[in-house]
Amino acid sequence: AHVSLRRFVDERTRRGSHEHLHVLAWPLEVVNGAPMDAEFIAEEVDDIRRQVADDLFVGFDVSAFPSTTLPALALAHAAYQRSLEAGEAVSLELRRLLFEQGVDVSDPDVLLRLADDHAVEVDLDDRSGVLADHAAGQARGVIGSPHFFTATDGFFCPALDISRGDDGHLHVGRDVAGFDRFLRSCFG
């Protein structure tokens, strides 16, 4: 999701657009029934960086990978209750902290500071909004992360072509045509 979100934001900036994203929670620990494995995520980050995004994940720190994402997702949900702009800003900042700065985004002090920065009132233990987002995603037919919906179409991982090889590693390429279709659906 981080790659697609960053590419979208870069393209939006390039076009001078002011369209904002509503990033619904898709909590993988709920989807998979278990917390995410930090070492497994680190391998995927290495594969993605090496193959298509050497400019991203530069500060990723496996030792700071959160034990849960639910409080961070609760913060993002609360930020969207304030405004679309605040929700997007918090969603993107959480990913920047985690993937670019190696910050543990399950740390309540980190989350409350971010909430303060964006004037968001949040109960980090309230999972109801996160679970409602997940249910809404299921109802819309989300098949994984990232899954984007525009006014006319749905796109699963539009920036990347991803498969898992016999070696167990991700094989990742840029999906130029898929991302172009996604951008046309977003911006016309």
Q: Tens digit of pLDDT for each residue in 25-36?
A: 999 999 999 999
pTM over 0.95: no
Domain ranges of the chain: 2-187
- Per-residue pLDDT tens digits for 70-117: 999 999 999 999 999 999 999 999 999 999 999 999 999 999 999 999
Give the CATH number of domain 2-187: 3.40.30
Separation between Cα atoms, residue 65 and residue 18, nearest integer Å: 32
Separation between Cα atoms, residue 22 and residue 85, nearest integer Å: 9
Say what angle helices 176-187 and 2-15 make with each other, to 10 degrees. Answer: 50
SS3 state at 123? coil
